[in-house]
């Protein structure tokens, strides 16, 4: 998990207060966001943990393994996306659907194994 420190402060102009949000990352980079609504200079400080990409992949693999039908929906979407692209390129035939389904199954199986 990566930690991000969020700082909120009032940064409004004549049109009313805006809440400025500065996200300060562990590596020293910052991102400044603006949102409507009110805020005050020392109103809120929050520490938020966001998952790293490996954490997110692991969570996805666990969900694919444990949630009924979730892996099937991913397999179907992956297989049809590839079949659609192949059809747009003029590639057709019964083996295409079989190969797309097998490829999608292989991909999902790899994600699930990463989560173990």
Q: What is the pLDDT of residues 58-82, one digit of tens each?
A: 888 888 888 888 999 999 999 999 9
- Tokens standing for 29? 């980079």
DSSP string, 4-62: EEEEEEE--BTTB--EEEEEEETTS-EEEEEESS---TTS-EEEEEE--HHHHHHHHHH
* pLDDT for the residue 6: 63
Residue 23 near residue 6 (C-beta atoms within 8 A) = yes
Report the Cα 41 to chain-centroid distance in Å. 31
Q: What's the predicted TM-score (pTM) here?
A: 0.54
Angle between helices 94-115 and 53-66 (to 10 degrees): 110
């Amino acid at each position: 998990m990566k930690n991000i420190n969020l700082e909120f402060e009032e940064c409004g102009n004549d049109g009313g207060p805006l809440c400025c949000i500065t996200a300060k990352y562990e590596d020293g980079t910052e991102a400044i966001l603006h949102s409507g609504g009110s805020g005050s200079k020392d109103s809120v400080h929050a520490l938020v943990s966001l998952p790293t990409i490996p954490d997110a992949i692991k969570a996805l693999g666990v969900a694919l393994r444990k949630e009924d039908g979730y892996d099937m929906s991913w397999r179907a979407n992956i297989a049809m996306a590839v079949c659609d692209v192949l059809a747009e390129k003029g590639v057709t035939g019964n083996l295409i659907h079989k190969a797309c389904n097998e490829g999608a199954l292989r991909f999902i199986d790899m994600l699930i194994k990463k989560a173990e």
